[in-house]
Amino acid sequence: MLVALIVCMTEQDAATDELSSNAGSDFGPAALASVASVALALYYYYVQDDKQRGQFVGLWPATILGLAIYLKLGDIKALLEQRQAA
């Protein structure tokens, strides 16, 4: 029983390490787009004095990051299903 528990914990650690090594790789473009969106929103709001457009563009980062997280969760789900099948 103890051996099975140790093997299970070792497999979980390996899966966690694999997920951690890939965790930041897919958020580069999404994070960059979000930062650019915030900058554009500030530009519209303060420089162009177009407050409505600045607020509209300012809502984009949450959507961009939410989509990136959703896509990443799909990759994690596929990896977990692959691990369970093996």
HEC-encoded secondary structure of the chain: CHHHHHHHHHHHHHHHHHHHHHCCCCCHHHHHHHHHHHHHHHHHHHHCCCHHHHHHHHCHHHHHHHHHHHHHHHHHHHHHHHHHHC
**Distance in angstroms (rounded) separating the CA atoms of residues 7 and 39:** 49
How does pLDDT run across 24-60, given as a tens digit for each residue?
555 699 999 999 999 999 999 999 999 999 999 999 9
Q: What is the pTM assigned to this prediction?
A: 0.63
